[in-house]
Chains A and B, each alone.
Chain A
Amino acid sequence: MKVTAQPTADTLTLLLDGELDASSAIVLDTELAKPDILNYRKVLVDCAKLSYISSAGLGVFISHLQRFQDANVKLVFFNMQEKVFNVFEILGLDALMTIVSTAAEAEAA
């Protein structure tokens, strides 16, 4: 699992590459836990290369959800593979998080 951060003026894009499970969840958590991440207006998560997400991986996003909402930082997922989207949907996260299909939609969100 590789996490690449691409910052622009008011947006941070995180590229996830590989399988997000208990062992790789720590890498993502470190990235999301950085205090200055709350200075961005939006955090976009590019899931094009995210091939699998386990409950521990979902747990990382869930644990930061409230913090992002409180700081008024919008969390947007895009380019999600169907299999990964199903996992978000079954858990009911699609109703809580913004999940769009393309990068353009993510930027407009």
Chain B
Amino acid sequence: MHHPLLYIGFLFTLLGAGLVLTDILSVGVAATPFSSWLLLLTTVGVLVVLWRLFVRPPALAAPVAAMAKAAAPRQLEIQSLQRLVQIVQHGQTSGEVYSMLLESAVQTVQADAAWLVLLPDHTKVEAGKAVQYYNISPAQAAELQSRLSSHTLPDGEYITNDLNSRLGFEGAPQAFRSLMQLPLQGLQFDYGTLYLLKAEPNTFDSDDLSILQTFTSQAVLSIENLELVRTSLENQRTQEELKIASQVQDSLIPKNLPTDNWFEISSHSLAAKEVGGDFYDFLHLPGRRLAVIIGDVSGKGVTAAFHMAQMKGIFHSLMQENPLAKNERDKFPVPSRFMAQANAALTHCLEKSSFITSSLYIIDYEQGGFVFARAGHCHTLYYHALREEVFYFESTGLGLGIIRNESYEKHIKNQFYDYSPGDVMVIYTDGIVEARGGNGTDEYGEDRLKLRLEESYFQEAEAIKSSILADLNGFTNGFPIHDDQTLLVIKFKSAQPPQ
């Protein structure tokens, strides 16, 4: 792009030359004052053209030189930024980012010495690498730092033009006179400070500052990205672990329900989180007997899941045949005895604020009856076929782990009941009756559950369960479940169905 004066000069030259030529061709006419003016104009035009073409004006020369000088650091700056970005992309460590930062900063501003102090809290650097040095001894850096910290710079100021005149340096002439100190500030934390030194005073300018501020913020961004990647990997691992826990727990819940021709069982269980504290189990006992247990560990999640597994172990250990028993009935513990023993076993396994509620039923087909004990667990819902009546069993009994001594036995008792074919027993945990719906405070409740059984008792166990669950889901209407849910439906049948 040429300077506009050049074109104006050309224009004047052409115009002047043309007119002078016309003048000369007009023979015999003496030079008029008009043509003298034209001659002058032409000369000025020629001079301007020559000047613009051959003499480079000094005003233009300076910026071009500056640009040429700045090209090298800008190149460096871009390269360094690219390297910083690459370090993050290749999943390298925060330690490498810090070394890279120090190295690039020194190169870019051509510092004579530098050091980088990292705060141990958030930088996760090893203890020995909390300070990194370039061309300065640790002792020298430490001495400078203690002088610097005696009088800190106001916020937003990073450059000291001459250390010899800075507060805190009185009477201590410095080998390095210029200092730039830059904090490494993240969104939430400070990561440390970068110190750059030059021997001569007044050598850092605002360009150096802005380049290095880009550097430090890019480095902090890199560190924070690395941290994000690390946490997300960690979360992924935790998720995997939970998935395994969930599978293990799933394997603790019986998949093959006991079958016989005198009863039907249907079951449902759903944990509020990946793992839960509800459990149920079955065990065939000699004779035509079946032990059914249900339980609910207080709390939710992993802690509850561990205790749930413990309780399953206790159930299978205690429900072993006692070879020393004097008679048939004493070979297996009756439910109240079982609860007392389970309570004693849990005394040392359960933290003080945890407890377990449980009910154990031993159903005896030969006798046509069952015996059960309720240790603080939800009341059993029952349909009595002969009386055509649905009711809750009213019985007392204290949860496990609440009293941790012998006196527990006084708080648990057995209840005997004779059943008839067609009777239905609904066993559940509080996650069912305390499920929330509507405005988020209404609970499903015992009454609604009872109503449901009154309308579905004549169906098979599986259909009764489905009808209760459908009603429950309609009630909660997508409201997230906040407690584990377990539901068992047992229907008694005649051993030989009528032909």
Residues of chain A whose beta carbon lies under 8 Å from any beta carbon of chain B: 22, 29, 51-52, 54-56, 58-60, 62-63, 65-66, 83, 90-93, 95-96
| Cα-based distance from A92 to B356 in the complex (angstroms) | 12
Task: Note all chain A residues with C-beta closer than 8 A to B177.
Answer: none
Q: How large is the interface on B (under 10, 10 to 19, 20 to 34, 35 or more residues)?
A: 20 to 34
Contact with A along B377-391 (1 / 0, CB 8 A): 111000000000000
In the complex, whether B355 has a CB less than 8 A from a CB of chain A is yes
- Given known contacts A55-B299, A56-B298, A56-B299, A91 and B441 CB-to-CB distance under 8 angstroms: no
Most buried by B among A51, A62, A65, A66: A62
Task: Note all chain A residues with C-beta closer than 8 A to B399.
Answer: 91-93
CB of B51, distance to nearest CB on chain A (Å):
84
- With A55-B355, A93-B399 given, name 19 new contacts (CB 8 A): A22-B299, A55-B296, A56-B298, A58-B298, A59-B353, A59-B354, A62-B353, A63-B352, A90-B357, A90-B378, A90-B379, A91-B355, A92-B376, A92-B402, A95-B396, A95-B398, A95-B411, A96-B402, A96-B411
Task: Note all chain A residues with C-beta closer than 8 A to B131.
Answer: none
User: Who on chain A is nearest to B299 by CB?
Assistant: A56
Task: Note all chain B residues with C-beta closer than 8 A to A92.
Answer: 375-376, 396-399, 402, 411
CB of A53, distance to nearest CB on chain B (Å):
11
Listed A/B pairs (27) with beta-carbon separation below 8 Å: A22-B299, A22-B300, A51-B441, A54-B483, A55-B296, A55-B298, A55-B299, A55-B355, A56-B298, A56-B353, A58-B355, A59-B299, A59-B355, A62-B352, A62-B402, A63-B353, A65-B402, A66-B404, A90-B376, A90-B378, A90-B379, A91-B357, A91-B398, A91-B402, A92-B411, A95-B396, A95-B411
In the complex, whether B403 has a CB less than 8 A from a CB of chain A is yes
User: Who on chain A is nearest to B357 by CB?
Assistant: A91
Are B354 and A96 within 8 A (Cβ)? Answer: no
| Cα-based distance from A93 to B298 in the complex (angstroms) | 14
CB of A87, distance to nearest CB on chain B (Å):
8
User: Who on chain B is nearest to A66 by CB?
Assistant: B404
Are A93 and B299 within 8 A (Cβ)? Answer: no
CB of A33, distance to nearest CB on chain B (Å):
11
Most buried by B among A22, A60, A90: A90
Task: Note all chain A residues with C-beta closer than 8 A to B397.
Answer: 92
| Cα-based distance from A54 to B353 in the complex (angstroms) | 12
CB of B456, distance to nearest CB on chain A (Å):
24
Task: Note all chain A residues with C-beta closer than 8 A to B354.
Answer: 59
Contact with A along B267-304 (1 / 0, CB 8 A): 00000000000000000000000000000101110000
| Cα-based distance from A25 to B402 in the complex (angstroms) | 17
Task: Note all chain B residues with C-beta closer than 8 A to A58.
Answer: 298, 355
| Cα-based distance from A65 to B354 in the complex (angstroms) | 13
CB of A32, distance to nearest CB on chain B (Å):
11
User: Who on chain B is nearest to A56 by CB?
Assistant: B299
Most buried by B among A66, A91, A95: A91
User: Who on chain A is nearest to B443 by CB?
Assistant: A83
User: Who on chain B is nearest to A67 by CB?
Assistant: B352
| Cα-based distance from A89 to B355 in the complex (angstroms) | 15
CB of A93, distance to nearest CB on chain B (Å):
7
Task: Note all chain B residues with C-beta closer than 8 A to A62.
Answer: 352-353, 355, 402
